[in-house]
Amino acid sequence: GAVVSQHPSRVICKSGTSVKIECRSLDFQATTMFWYRQFPKQSLMLMATSNEGSKATYEQGVEKDKFLINHASLTLSTLTVTSAHPEDSSFYICSARILNTEAFFGQGTRLTVV
């Protein structure tokens, strides 16, 4: 299947700083990318849907100024957690899709805010 690379896999940052997570589709051009958040022993919760060249669509309850999403090209989407706080610590997963096909997932990023 297609490969989606997410970087970094783990990051520790200080409270108040910003962290950027990258999601790249390596061997295909993704028309749509999705960002999920997963708390321990819980399911994946959709945060936002990102289409190349347009603004991301955020799910209800997700602060768009807190979680900045940029989808500047068909192979790259970034999620920036701004002014991170300990409660933002979580596992973040991206997925990418071409039109109406299945989605392929990145490896995930474990964010720890100290």
Q: Which is nearer to other proteins, 45 or 76 (CB)?
A: 45
Cα 38–chain centre separation: 11
How many residues are there in the chain? 114
Q: In angstroms, what is the minimal distance from the CB of 102 to other proteins?
A: 6
* Phi/psi of residue 88, nearest 5 degrees: -85, -10
Cα 48–chain centre separation: 8
Distances (CA, A) of 35 to 26, 43, 58, 63, 114: 17, 13, 10, 13, 23
Q: Which is nearer to other proteins, 52 or 82 (CB)?
A: 52
Residues lying near other proteins in the complex (CB under 8 A) are found at 1, 34, 38, 42-44, 46, 49, 91, 93, 95, 99-100, 102-103, 105, 107-108
Q: In angstroms, what is the minimal distance from the CB of 38 to other proteins?
A: 8
Q: Which is nearer to other proteins, 17 or 29 (CB)?
A: 29
Q: In angstroms, what is the minimal distance from the CB of 19 to other proteins?
A: 18
CA distance 51 to 56: 7
Q: Which is nearer to other proteins, 38 or 80 (CB)?
A: 38
Q: In angstroms, what is the minimal distance from the CB of 83 to other proteins?
A: 26
Strand partners, 36: 46, 93
